[in-house]
Amino acid sequence: MVKISRKANNGSGCRRHQYIQWIVRATLASLFVAYSFREIRIIINQSDPNLAPKMMPPKPQIPVPHEVSYQTPLAYGTKDLKDRTGALVAQAIGEGFRHIVTCGHHQKHNESGVGFGWTTSGLDRHEIFLQTCFVPFGSTEEFQRQPSDPMFREDWGLETIEDQVHLSVSTSLKNLQTTYIDALIFHNFRAKRWDDNEMMRAWRVFEQYVDNGTIKYLGMTSVHDPEWFDQFYDSVRIPPITVQNRFHSNRQYDVNMQEVFGKRKIQVQRFWLLNGSSGMGRNNKEMADAKNVTPAQLMLGFVMSGSETCLVGTTSLQHMKEDIEISKCYPSLFFGGGDNYDADRQTYAQKLGMKQARPLTDLSIVGDTSRSCQSMQE
Ligand SMILES: NC(=O)c1ccc[n+]([C@@H]2O[C@H](COP(=O)([O-])OP(=O)(O)OC[C@H]3O[C@@H](n4cnc5c(N)ncnc54)[C@H](OP(=O)(O)O)[C@@H]3O)[C@@H](O)[C@H]2O)c1
Domain boundaries defined on the chain: 1-55, 132-377
Query: What pLDDT, on the 0 to 100 scale, is given for residue 371?
Result: 57
Give the Å distance between the CA of 48 and the centre of ligand 1: 52
The set of residues, in sequence order, having a beta carbon less than 8 Å from that of 229 and lying 6+ positions away, is: 223, 243, 257, 260, 264
> 132-377 falls under which CATH superfamily?
NADP-dependent oxidoreductase domain (3.20.20.100)
Q: How far is CA 298 from the centre of its chain?
A: 18
Q: Rounded to whole angstroms, how far apart are CA atoms 274 and 33?
A: 60
**Tens of each residue's pLDDT in the chain, 378 residues:** 334 344 444 555 556 777 778 777 877 776 665 555 444 444 444 444 444 443 444 444 555 545 688 999 999 999 999 999 999 999 999 999 999 999 999 999 999 999 999 999 999 999 999 999 999 998 888 999 888 887 666 666 567 999 999 999 999 999 999 999 999 999 999 888 999 999 999 999 999 999 999 999 999 999 999 999 999 999 999 999 999 999 998 888 998 999 999 999 999 999 999 998 888 999 899 999 999 999 999 999 999 988 899 999 999 999 999 999 999 888 888 876 666 677 888 899 999 988 777 776 544 333 455 556 554 444
Pick from 305, 310, 309, 284: nearest CA to 295: 284
Three-state DSSP class for 278?
coil
Question: Which residue, by CA, sits nearest to atom 5 of ligand 1?
Answer: 271
> What number of CA atoms fall less than 13 Å from residue 371's CA on the CB side?
15
> What number of CA atoms fall less than 13 Å from residue 57's CA on the CB side?
13
Give the Å distance between the CA of 192 and the centre of ligand 1: 21
Question: Which residue, by CA, sits nearest to atom 37 of ligand 1?
Answer: 314
Decide: residue 125, CB within 10 A, 0-12 exposed, 13-18 middle, 19+ buried: middle
The one-letter amino acid at 284: N
Which atom of ligand 1 sits closest to the CA of residue 296?
31
Give the Å distance between the CA of 310 and the centre of ligand 1: 9
Q: Rounded to whole angstroms, how far apart are CA atoms 242 and 229?
A: 12
Q: Rounded to whole angstroms, how far apart are CA atoms 88 and 223?
A: 29
Helices (H), 184-305: 196-211, 226-235, 258-263, 285-290, 295-305
Which atom of ligand 1 sits closest to the CA of residue 271?
16
The set of residues, in sequence order, having a beta carbon less than 8 Å from that of 329 and lying 6+ positions away, is: 301, 371, 372, 373, 376
Which atom of ligand 1 sits closest to the CA of residue 322?
31
Instruction: Spell out which residues line ligand 1, taking CB within 6 angstroms.
Output: 77-79, 101, 221-222, 244, 271-275, 296-297, 311-316, 319, 322-323
Give the Å distance between the CA of 321 and the centre of ligand 1: 15
Query: What pLDDT, on the 0 to 100 scale, is given for residue 367?
Result: 44
Query: What pLDDT, on the 0 to 100 scale, is given for residue 184?
Result: 98
CA distances (Å), 130 to each of 4, 121, 291, 296, 300, in order? 83, 13, 33, 25, 21
Three-state DSSP class for 131?
strand
The answer to whether 288 and 298 are in contact (CB under 8 A) is: yes
Give the Å distance between the CA of 75 and the centre of ligand 1: 11
Which atom of ligand 1 sits closest to the CA of residue 244?
1
Q: How far is CA 147 from the centre of its chain?
A: 33
Query: What pLDDT, on the 0 to 100 scale, is given for residue 158?
Result: 62
**Nearest 10 degrees: CA dihedral of 108, 111, 113, 117?**
120
The answer to whether 64 and 367 are in contact (CB under 8 A) is: yes
In DSSP terms, which residues pair with 134 in a beta bridge?
Answer: 186
Q: Rounded to whole angstroms, how far apart are CA atoms 369 and 136?
A: 42
Three-state DSSP class for 39?
helix
Query: What pLDDT, on the 0 to 100 scale, is given for residue 358?
Result: 78
Which atom of ligand 1 sits closest to the CA of residue 81?
45
Query: What pLDDT, on the 0 to 100 scale, is given for residue 108?
Result: 98
Give the Å distance between the CA of 166 and the centre of ligand 1: 29
Quick one: which H or E segment has residue 354?
none
Question: Ligand 1: which of 89, 130, 189, 275 to mutate, judged by most atoms within 8 Å of the beta carbon?
Answer: 275
Dihedral-angle region of residue 353 (phi above 0 means left; psi in -120 to 50 means alpha; beta otherwise): left
Query: What pLDDT, on the 0 to 100 scale, is given for residue 31?
Result: 65
Give the Å distance between the CA of 212 and the centre of ligand 1: 34
Which atom of ligand 1 sits closest to the CA of residue 297?
31
Quick one: which H or E segment has residue 86?
helix 85-95
Question: Which residue, by CA, sits nearest to atom 1 of ligand 1?
Answer: 221
**Whole-angstrom Cα Rg for the chain:** 28
Query: What pLDDT, on the 0 to 100 scale, is given for residue 155?
Result: 60
